[in-house]
Amino acid sequence: MIVPLVLSTHWVVAAEASVPVPYAEQELRPIKQKAQEYLENTGASLRSKGAIVKTKVSIGRPAEEIIKAADEINADLIAMSTHGRSGVSRWAVGSVTDKVLRAGKIPVLAVRVPKGSESMAT
């Protein structure tokens, strides 16, 4: 399981101006830890059902990090959740799942997230 974090910069806003500022490692540390805990808890559930689970937290562009990690471990399948957005919402937010489907060489299983369910990303 991989949780890519897109956290290379954050925006600082002052009055009407804004500027991207890189995160410092000490700022990323607790975020990475929370992501790793999330993966370990989710992985434990899958392991109890007999699945082989490896976890990894990456920083970068989500689709690229997912594809890279799948290639590194020689995965047979990428399973992803998706919110199933369409129209303007999809255009504005983008779709990591769509990018992985189009750019990757490995089959992708996309599972729609039930409405109102919580995830680490929300």
Give pLDDT tens digits for 71-90: 988 888 888 887 666 655 54
Both 3 and 49 in one domain: the answer is yes
Binning pLDDT at 50, 70 and 90, where does residue 107 land?
very high
Binning pLDDT at 50, 70 and 90, where does residue 98 land?
confident
Contact yes or no for 113/82 (Cβ under 8 A): yes
pLDDT exceeds cutoff 90 at 24: no
Both 2 and 56 in one domain: the answer is yes
pLDDT digit string, tens, across residues 29-87: 898 899 889 888 888 988 999 988 888 888 878 888 889 989 988 888 888 887 666 65
Both 14 and 52 in one domain: the answer is yes
Contact yes or no for 7/62 (Cβ under 8 A): no
- Predicted TM-score of the model (pTM): 0.68
Nearest-CA neighbor of 104 among 87, 75, 5?
75
Q: Count of domains in the chain?
A: 2
Both 54 and 7 in one domain: the answer is yes
Domain with 51, as residue range(s), is: 1-60
Q: Domain for residue 66, yes or no?
A: no
Both 28 and 53 in one domain: the answer is yes
What type of residue sits at position 93? V
Both 80 and 120 in one domain: the answer is yes
Both 3 and 54 in one domain: the answer is yes
pLDDT value at position 93? 43
Binning pLDDT at 50, 70 and 90, where does residue 92 land?
very low
pLDDT value at position 7? 61
Both 110 and 79 in one domain: the answer is yes
pLDDT value at position 6? 55
Both 6 and 49 in one domain: the answer is yes
Both 7 and 36 in one domain: the answer is yes
Both 4 and 48 in one domain: the answer is yes
